[in-house]
Amino acid sequence: MNVGIDLGTTNTVVSYISNEGSLELLDVNGGFLLPSCVYADNNTVMTGENALKSGEANPENFVSSAKTRMGRQEKSYVVGGMALNPTDAARLVLEAAYRRLREVFPDEKEFGAFVTVPASFESGQRAETRKALIAAGFKTGGNCVIDEPVAAAIAYSPRLGGGRVLVIDFGGGTLDISLVETDYIGSTTNPSRVKVLKSGGDRNLGGDDFDKAIAGAVYEYVRDNSPAHTDLSFPLRSQMKYARKIERLAGRAKESLSADGVYAANIYDGDLFEDGSFELDFDITYEEYTALAFELIERVKKAVLSPFGGEYAISDVKNVLLVGGMAGEPFLREFVSNVFGEDKIILPPDRMYLVAKGAAVCNSDLPVQVSNKSFTSIGALCLNEKGEDDIFYFIRAGEDIDPDKKVSRLFKTGRDFASTMVIEIAEFVSREKKTVSRLELNGLTPDFAENQTVEITFSINEDKYISVSAEEVSTGRKISCNIRL
Ligand SMILES: Nc1ncnc2c1ncn2[C@@H]1O[C@H](COP(=O)(O)OP(=O)(O)OP(=O)(O)O)[C@@H](O)[C@H]1O
Ligand SMILES: [Mg+2]
């Protein structure tokens, strides 16, 4: 089964192509978001919602937002007596996704996955992500790591109909901005090409920073008003859980403030410390929030404009596609609307899932080209034993081409005393095929269908030709053709 995974700083989303060919999202515990966090104590390791819950009581055993430290090995965590680096944390989250896929699809032999990363990830960080994916049990080809904004553009472009699109992917840990050219050729499910013209953004800016900005104001209030003047911005070990709790509640308040018509949100109302020494009641308005986050918002604005000024102009942008949890922020919508025009904004209802969907599309038979990398599948279409069309893939979309690759499969004619077998070599566009070449093996030895066997072999020769041959097994008679890659 072909799977696409958005391994996010805050949430991981898994999409897949169903056996019927439709693009689906994996249900993880009643929703599609798997929190990208890990909790470990002496005997157990947990991920997702369970980890989130256990982490509230024991924050010292909890790891979240590890993705932002990926590829920086020195940043290791020790949780519940276990030493984890960020790649281990990613692997544990991916393992949870893998287990869930196994549970939902027990009959699938393997899960081939593509995973997404921020456009700003360096090659070492990409390699670590790939390593985590493989260690979690997924099968991968060579090109299994795709940029998040590119994946989002791929998933959305059938709804766009082509043109230059500015993709703003604003998540928990990073702000990714890419100006892409989408080229749509009429398939109802997929575009033909997504080309990255320019990428930018701010790799160290995400929703987490906004949560911290709000939490900072609460810490200040607690320091000034609690009897022991507790400073949660530098918490003692025993106070860490309170600091984390406020940060988490600040994040919730931030999320509710972004909804239309919400003026203020309550962050906390009740006893803050277990000893009952301090009662905290803290509300925040959207205006107060944006004032606290003023510098962060300035960085967002700068990042949004980063692809422009040189070769590309703001007026070239046909649409601005907003994806990720932070994309619904009113301050962002207002800025984008002032710069590009309100009619250009696209805020899709599935904005939290588009990246994963795009990764699944890339990991399918659908022809998608990202920059100059080809993601087209090539295979042969023959008759199987039941006389039905059967596709035999040589190269699957997104796979690296191994120069020594050679694969064969046996086919039956499907009809008693058939004299000919027709083999179509094709590129595959979803369920449609584009015929590249045709082989006809005539004069087959008359026999019952079960005995009329033809072996089809694909290989790549030195000149980068794909060579396809069809051989009648009983006589060794053979015809072949070459296709240029
Ligand atoms: N309605 C909302 N309004 C504002 N912020 C929101 C909303 N919903 C979610 N968020 C914030 O979005 C962030 C998570 O978004 P998302 O799931 O897209 O991130 P991610 O993909 O895990 O991270 P990244 O892409 O940076 O690695 C969190 O900071 C969360 O608080
Ligand atoms: Mg994301």
* Per-residue pLDDT of the chain in tens (485 residues, 90 and over written 9): 999 999 999 999 999 988 777 789 999 988 999 999 999 988 789 999 999 989 988 888 999 988 988 877 666 888 888 888 999 999 999 999 999 999 999 999 999 999 999 988 888 888 899 999 999 999 987 678 889 998 999 888 777 777 899 999 999 999 999 999 887 655 444 445 778 888 889 989 999 999 999 999 999 999 999 999 999 999 998 899 999 999 999 999 999 999 877 889 999 999 999 999 999 999 999 999 999 999 999 999 999 999 998 889 999 999 999 999 999 999 999 999 999 999 999 999 999 999 999 999 887 765 554 543 344 577 777 765 555 566 777 777 656 666 677 888 888 887 888 888 888 888 765 445 677 777 888 888 888 888 888 898 988 766 667 888 889 999 998 888 777 65
- Indicate if ligand 1 lies below 6 Å from the C-beta of 352: yes
* Residue 459 domain boundaries: 376-484
End-to-end C-alpha distance for the chain, whole angstroms: 26
Residues 53 and 121 in one domain: yes
Q: How far is the CA of 325 from the centre of ligand 1 (A)?
A: 3
CA-to-CA distance for 462 and 447, rounded, in angstroms?
Answer: 37
Count of residues making up the chain: 485
Cα of 9 to ligand 2 centre, how many Å?
7
Ligand 1 centroid – CA 239 distance (Å):
26
Looking at all shown ligands, the one closest to residue 202's CA atom is 1
| 416, 314: one domain | no
Q: Both 474 and 355 in a single domain?
A: no
**Is 456 within the bounds of a domain?**
yes
User: Does the residue 255 lie in any domain?
Assistant: no
Closest residue to atom 8 of ligand 1, CA basis:
325
Cα-to-centroid distance, 207 and ligand 1 (Å): 6
Q: What is the pLDDT of residue 451?
A: 86
With a 6 A CB cut-off, is 251 part of the ligand 1 pocket? yes
CATH of the domain at 175: 3.30.420.40
Q: What is the pLDDT of residue 27?
A: 95
CA distance 409 to 331: 58
pLDDT of residue 255: 95
Q: Is residue 276 part of a domain?
A: no
Q: Residue 289 CA: which ligand is closest?
A: 1
Residue 347 phi, psi (nearest 5): -120, 85
- Cα 68 to middle of ligand 1, angstroms: 14
For ligand 1, whether the C-beta of 325 sits within 6 Å is: yes
Amino acid type, 382: C
In a domain, 60, yes or no: yes
Same domain, 435 and 346: no
Residue 186 lies in a domain: yes
Q: What distance in angstroms lies between residue 54's CA and the mean position of ligand 2's atoms?
A: 24
**pLDDT value of position 6:** 98
Same domain, 51 and 175: yes
Taking a C-beta distance cutoff of 8 angstroms, is the pair 191, 176 a contact?
Answer: no
Q: Do 337 and 443 share a domain, yes or no?
A: no
pLDDT at 58: 87
Q: Which of 290, 326, 347, 351 is the pocket-test mutation for ligand 1 (most atoms within 8 Å of CB)?
A: 326
**Is 278 a member of any domain?**
no
Co-location of 314 and 393 in the same domain:
no
Q: Is residue 138 part of a domain?
A: yes
Ligand 1 in contact with 59 (CB < 6 A)? no
State whether the beta carbon of 65 lies less than 6 angstroms from ligand 1: no
Together in a domain, 37 and 155:
yes
Question: Would you state the pLDDT for residue 378?
Answer: 77
Residue 191, pLDDT score: 47
Identify which of 300, 289, 128, 285 has the alpha carbon closest to the alpha carbon of residue 206. Answer: 300
Closest C-alpha to 113, from 125, 127, 101, 128: 101
- Stated pTM of the model: 0.76
Is there a single domain that holds both residue 333 and residue 389? Answer: no
Q: Whose CA is nearest to atom 28 of ligand 1?
A: 172
Single residue among 317, 336, 362 that ends a domain in this structure: 362
Our answer on whether the CB atom of 329 is closer than 6 Å to any ligand 1 atom is yes
CATH classification of the domain holding 439: 2.60.34.10
In a domain, 121, yes or no: yes
Tally of structural domains, the chain: 2
23 & 72 share domain: yes
Q: Which ligand is nearest to the CA of 358?
A: 2
Closest-lying ligand to the alpha carbon of 174? 1
Strand 478-484's sheet: what is its strand order? Answer: 406-412, 453-460, 465-472, 478-484
Query: Do residues 321 and 426 both lie within one domain?
Result: no
Task: Judge if the beta carbon of residue 69 lies within 6 A of ligand 1.
Answer: no
Residue located nearest, by CA, to atom 29 of ligand 1: 207
Q: How far is the CA of 202 from the centre of ligand 1 (A)?
A: 15
Q: State the Rg of the chain over Cα.
A: 27
Co-location of 13 and 154 in the same domain: yes
